[in-house]
Every structure is written in C-alpha cells, then in structure tokens.
C-alpha cells in the first residue's frame, strides 16, 4: 500500500435509509462527489506577544456534496422528504368548438366542481365569457354554434403520473451513504476505493433549473455528515494491490462494503 495515487472518477452511490436500513436509491449517474471533513480549533494563549500555547479541536463534522445532471423523482423525494402520489390535478388550456345551444362538453378528465374559464378565440386571457356549468356541460353566453372558444379547466391526471407533495413539515430523512470508485497509482494500477458516510442528512435547499440553452441543468445535493450511535461518521477504504487492475482494465469489483 505504499503507492501514491490520484483520482479522476466519480463515486457510484447507494443511499440506505438510516432508520429502516432499507436501500432507498442507487445513484450511479453522478458527475461529481466531494467529501469534506470540517472541524474547529480553539487555542489557549499566554505570555508576551499573546502566543498560542495549547490547541483544542472540536465541532467535528463534514459534508458530502454531489452534482448530477441526471435526475429522477426518487432523487427529488430524497431531497425534499415529500410523499409520492400516483395522481395529480393540473390546469389545462384547450380549444373547443361550440355546439348547439351554445354548449361545449368538457372531457371525462375534468374535475367536476372545479373552476372553468372561457375566452373568445381572439381574446385569450382577456375578458371571460359568462358561463353556466352543469356537470361536464358548459353553456357559453352569446356564443353561436361553430364558434371557437378557449377553455381553461382543471384536469385530473390518474395514469402514469408521479407527484411529490412538499409541505412545510416535509424534511429529508437521514441516510447511510456508500460510495465506491477507483484510484489510479503511479505504477498504472487501479485501486478500489470506497467510503461509508454513516449518517448523512440532505440539506433542504433544492434548485431545479429549466433552460433552453447552455449545458443541461445540474442539481447539487449537499448532505451534512453526522455521527451515529457508535460515534462513527466516515470510513475511507482503499483496497490493496492484490485487488487492483491495470489502467486498461476497469472491471473492478464494485461490491459495496456493508455495515
């Protein structure tokens, strides 16, 4: 284990629910994973010139910061602590042709009892037309058969949908995070490198960016590192040369170290 080494590869990460010990997320699509150890030093001073005499270390902690351009709702759930639902409601805009007696019929996805707003085709979001609603039937005042109108209504989405509800009481859970990558040595070997963050809690900050130019949006996840009941915070593991490969062969054993 005397070789010096360097890194130019991200870690694959496995998030395990700290409380239940069940695997929550396999994250093998990150671009950057950075582990930072923090601490604070205070000193006792004495004598002429007020020199430092004794050092005291404390406030041990750290962060695990992950950057990824690939996203998933499971990742959003990890960051928000929100609950996932399989149905949602959302306002939609649709053009209708007025039928006989000035009526239009909303589709079955319309949520009965929710608001409906109707505009003339040439006055979108202008002056709403007067309407009366009975079930899914909408009668538009002063509209003739064949007129085109724009209708805004609430649509129920029931199939193939995921919804995360983030509430004021929603906060991320604690996780045990396992990471593995490889280090390259000066003699051209690849050494399996792993870490275990025993109790990592994602910070609640989350930014989801949408843009039509530039690089794909990046999400940054910052986890605060804490100690578990055994005072464990972080393990750094480097396997020896017997488990290494040459740089041309990246078939490293990626089995994650367990508890």
Spatial distance between the Cα atoms of 104 and 152, rounded to a whole number of angstroms: 13
Q: Which single residue is written with the structure tokens 């050092």? A: 55
The beta strands (E) that lie in 186-241 are given as 189-202, 219-226, 234-238
Q: pLDDT truncated to tens, each residue of the chain (259 aa)? A: 567 899 999 999 999 999 999 999 999 999 999 999 999 999 999 999 999 999 999 888 999 999 999 999 999 999 999 888 888 999 999 999 999 989 999 999 898 889 999 999 999 999 999 999 999 999 999 899 999 999 999 999 888 889 998 888 889 999 999 999 999 998 888 999 999 999 999 998 888 888 899 999 999 999 999 999 999 999 999 988 666 555 555 544 444 444 4
Spatial distance between the Cα atoms of 118 and 162, rounded to a whole number of angstroms: 29
* Polymer length in residues for the chain: 259
Cβ-proximal residues to 214 (8 Å cutoff; 6+ apart), any chain = none
CA distances from 229 to 19, 24, 169, 199, 226 (A): 12, 21, 25, 10, 10
Spatial distance between the Cα atoms of 210 and 91, rounded to a whole number of angstroms: 20
Q: Considering the entire predicted model, what is its pTM?
A: 0.80
DSSP code per residue over 36-79: EEEEEEEEEE-STT--EEEEEEEEEEEEEEEEES---HHHHHHH
Spatial distance between the Cα atoms of 20 and 62, rounded to a whole number of angstroms: 23
CA 210 and chain centroid, separation: 14
């Amino acid at each position: 284990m005397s070789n010096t080494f360097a890194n130019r590869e991200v870690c694959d990460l496995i998030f395990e629910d700290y409380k239940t010990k069940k695997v929550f997320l396999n994250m093998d699509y990150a671009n950057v994973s950075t582990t930072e150890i923090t601490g604070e030093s205070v000193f006792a001073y004495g004598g002429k010139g007020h020199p430092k005499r004794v050092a005291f270390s404390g406030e041990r902690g750290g962060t695990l910061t992950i950057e990824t351009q690939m996203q998933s709702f499971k990742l959003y759930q990890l960051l928000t602590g929100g609950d996932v639902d399989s149905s949602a409601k959302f306002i939609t805009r649709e053009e209708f042709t007025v039928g006989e007696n000035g009526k239009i019929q909303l589709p079955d996805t319309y949520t009965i009892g929710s608001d409906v707003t109707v505009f003339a085709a040439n006055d979108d979001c202008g002056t709403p037309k007067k309407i009366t609603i009975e079930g899914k039937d909408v009668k538009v005042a002063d509209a003739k058969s064949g007129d085109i109108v724009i209708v805004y209504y609430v649509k129920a989405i029931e199939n193939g949908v995921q919804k995360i509800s983030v509430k004021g009481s929603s906060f991320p859970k604690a996780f045990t995070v396992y990471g593995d990558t490889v280090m390259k040595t000066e003699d051209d070997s690849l050494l399996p490198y792993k870490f275990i963050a025993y109790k990592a809690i994602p910070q609640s900050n989350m930014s989801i960016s949408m843009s039509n130019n530039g690089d794909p949006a990046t999400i940054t996840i910052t986890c605060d590192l804490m100690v578990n009941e055994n005072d464990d915070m972080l393990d750094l593991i480097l396997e020896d040369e017997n488990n290494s490969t040459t740089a041309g062969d990246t078939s490293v054993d990626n089995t994650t170290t367990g508890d």
